[in-house]
Amino acid sequence: MKIYIGADHNGFDFKARLITELGKGGHEVIDKGSTEPIPDDDWPIITARTVQALLADKDPDARAILICGSGQGVCMAANRFKGIRASLVWGLPEAQAARNDDDSNVLCLPARYTSIDDAVKVTEAWLTTPFAGATRFKRRLEQLDNL
pLDDT above 90: residue 21: yes
Query: How much is the pTM?
Result: 0.96
Q: Which residues are catalytic?
A: 68
- The string of pLDDT tens digits covering residues 114-145 is 999 999 999 999 999 999 999 999 999 999 99
Share of the chain above pLDDT 90, in %: 93
- The string of pLDDT tens digits covering residues 48-88 is 999 999 999 999 999 999 999 999 999 999 999 999 999 99
Using DSSP's 3-state secondary structure scheme, residue 79 falls into coil
DSSP one-letter code for 128:
H
8 Å CB contact between 107 and 78:
no
